[in-house]
Amino acid sequence: MAKHALLNNVEHKDLKIATHHSESFGDNMMCVPLFPVEVRHAQAHYPILFVRDGEGQFQMVALLGFEQHENLFLRDQQWQAAYKPLLIEKGPFLIGRNPQAGNATLSIHIDLDDPRVNTEQGEALFLPHGGNSDYIENIANVLSTIHQSQSELRQFISVLERLELIESFVVDIELDGQGTHRLSGFFTLNEDKIKALDAETLGRLHQDGYLELVYMIVASMSQLRALVERKKARMAV
């Protein structure tokens, strides 16, 4: 069970964070949510799809595997891609209100029950004399980006839904004598509908900064073949 605490350099001065990756850290996930700000980097490594969350709302995700608890980018405690999504990068931290400042200030919180949190090995959070380490400064930037990206994601998906560009996605994957695996429950962008958009709509998408995102998401589907090859290589071991 999570035990969230407001991070401070007195109570938590000796804490370290293990930064390798492991199933025990929850890294064995089939997909991870993405934000528009990271699509440019993510599309070079992962197929970008959409899923419905528990409330039925669309969420953009990077596909990491083809079945539950399968992350084909996780191997030997390393993340095998040059770009790690923000929600992976943030580790056991989250952003939240600071009750000591009247809940008006957003501050870094830490899940003290997360298995990455320890006092023996990993990245230190604070310098010997109490200042922030480079590691926690980077975490602060990651959390700030995630917080600022929430509304942008909702706006982007709202536009995609209004234009009816999101469609159900099902694909059968041949696994070299190991049978066929069907990937379902995901959604993608309808390329035919994108091509049929009129000039005014395309201009509005470009002006809002969404047209480039749309094309990068479509282009990311070329990574599906590479993900299949990862799956085959993993099965061959």
The rounded distance, in Å, linking the Cα atoms of 69 and 22 is 12
pLDDT above 90: percentage of residues in the chain: 81
> What is the structure's pLDDT at 3?
86
Given pLDDT bands bounded at 50, 70 and 90, which one contains residue 38? very high
Given pLDDT bands bounded at 50, 70 and 90, which one contains residue 68? very high
| 175 pLDDT more than 80 | no
> What is the structure's pLDDT at 11?
92
Residues 6 or more apart whose Cβ sits within 8 Å of residue 225: none
The rounded distance, in Å, linking the Cα atoms of 99 and 83 is 34
Between 110 and 232, name the one with better pLDDT.
110
| Mean pLDDT calculated for residue range 155-184 | 89
| 1 pLDDT more than 70 | no
Side-chain half-sphere of 186: how many Cα atoms within 13 Å?
26
pLDDT per residue over 15-32, tens digit each?
999 999 999 999 999 999
Q: Residue for token digits 């596909």?
A: 63
Q: Where are the domains of the chain?
A: 4-230
Given pLDDT bands bounded at 50, 70 and 90, which one contains residue 102? low
Given pLDDT bands bounded at 50, 70 and 90, which one contains residue 97? confident
The average confidence (pLDDT) of the chain is 92
| 177 pLDDT more than 90 | no
